[in-house]
Chains A and B, each alone.
Chain A
C-alpha cells in the first residue's frame, strides 16, 4: 500500500493509489460483490507528536513518519472505508501520560 519513492534527499512515502485502483479493477473483473477496503498501518506519526513525546523522555526516532493524512482522503474516494491508525493513538497515550507525570515531578 505504501510506496517508497527515492528522492535526492532521501526516501519519501506515498500511498500506492494505482495499487488500490488495481485491486478494485481486479475484483470487478472477477465478478466479486461490492467490496470494501481497509488500509492497515496508516498512522501519520506527525512530527509535532514525535517532538512532544521526545521532549518528555519518549525514545523515538526523530525521522519516524507515516502516511500523509491528506492522502487518506484520496484513498477513501477509491473505496477505502476503514483506516487503521493505532500507532497515532498510542503516541497520544504515551505523550499524554508522560506530560502529566512530567508536570507532577517538576
Chain B
C-alpha cells in the first residue's frame, strides 16, 4: 500500500515492513473512525435514538399480522370442533395447550428463535376412527441427523407428542 506524505515521495509501508503485513490493524482504526462517522450522521439526519420506535412499529405490524392469522386458525378450529363435537366429544387438550406443548419442543432444542409455529389444526388421527389430534406445523422443516426433515408435531388428547418427519424424497409420516 503506497502512502504519499506531503511533498515527499510515495512510501510503501507493507513493502518496507513486510513482517507487519496485517490489514486488520489499519482496518480496526478505520472501523472505529467509521463508527464515529455513522453515529455523527445519524445524529445530524435525525435517525439517532429511533431504533426502539422502529422496533416497536415493526413488532406492532407483525403482531397484528400474527393476530389475524391466529384468529383465522381459531375460527377454522372452532368450526371444525363444532361440526365434530357430537361425534368426538370435547378435546382433552385445547388448541392453546397444543401450541404450548409444541413450543416447548422448539424451546428444548433451542429452535425458538429460528422456527415458528405456522399452523395448528385439529384432525382425525385415522381415516375411520374418532381419535383426534392437533397437527402443529413449523414455519420451515428442521433437518435431523438421520437425513430426514421434521415438519411439525402431532399432539394427541393426552398431550403425547409425535414428531412429523418427512423423508427427503418421500412424504410425511409419524415418528415417535
Are A and B bound to each other?
Answer: yes
Q: Is B4 an interface residue (CB 8 A)?
A: yes
Secondary structure at the B interface, as helix, strand, loop or mixed, is: helix
Interface residues of A in 27-78 (CB under 8 A from B): 56-57, 59, 69-70, 72-73, 76
Instruction: Choose from B4, B5, B33, B44 the contact partner of A92 (Cβ within 8 Å).
Output: B33
Please give, as numbers and ranges, the residues of chain B lying within 8 Å of A95 by CB-CB distance.
Answer: 33
- Judge whether A69 and B26 touch: CB under 8 Å: no
- Judge whether B37 and A102 touch: CB under 8 Å: no
Residue among A83, A92, A96 facing the most chain B CB atoms (10 A cut-off): A96
Residue among B4, B32, B37 facing the most chain A CB atoms (10 A cut-off): B37
Q: Report if A102-B5 is in contact (Cβ < 8 Å); known contacts: A88-B37, A93-B30, A96-B33.
A: yes
Q: Is A85 an interface residue (CB 8 A)?
A: yes
- Judge whether A105 and B13 touch: CB under 8 Å: yes
Q: Is A24 an interface residue (CB 8 A)?
A: no
* A99 CA to B20 CA, complexed, in Å: 16
Please give, as numbers and ranges, the residues of chain B lying within 8 Å of A73 by CB-CB distance.
Answer: 44-46
Closest to A91 in B: B37
Closest to B35 in A: A92
Closest to B31 in A: A96
Question: Per-residue 0/1 for A6-42: is the Cβ within 8 Å of any B Cβ (1 yes, 0 no)?
Answer: 0000000000000000000000000000000000000
Task: Provide 18 A-B residue pairs closer than 8 Å at the C-beta atoms, listed in order of the A residue.
Answer: A57-B3, A57-B5, A59-B4, A72-B44, A73-B45, A89-B37, A92-B33, A93-B30, A96-B26, A96-B33, A97-B3, A98-B3, A99-B29, A101-B3, A101-B11, A101-B13, A105-B5, A105-B11
Where the two chains meet, the residues of A that have a C-beta atom closer than 8 Å to any C-beta of B are 56-57, 59, 69-70, 72-73, 76, 83, 85, 88-89, 92-93, 95-102, 104-105
With A83-B45, A104-B13 known, 17 other A-B pairs at CB within 8 A are: A57-B3, A57-B6, A69-B45, A73-B44, A73-B46, A76-B45, A88-B37, A89-B34, A92-B33, A96-B26, A97-B29, A100-B25, A100-B29, A101-B13, A101-B26, A102-B3, A104-B17
Where the two chains meet, the residues of B that have a C-beta atom closer than 8 Å to any C-beta of A are 1, 3-6, 11, 13, 17, 20, 25-26, 29-30, 32-34, 37, 41, 44-46
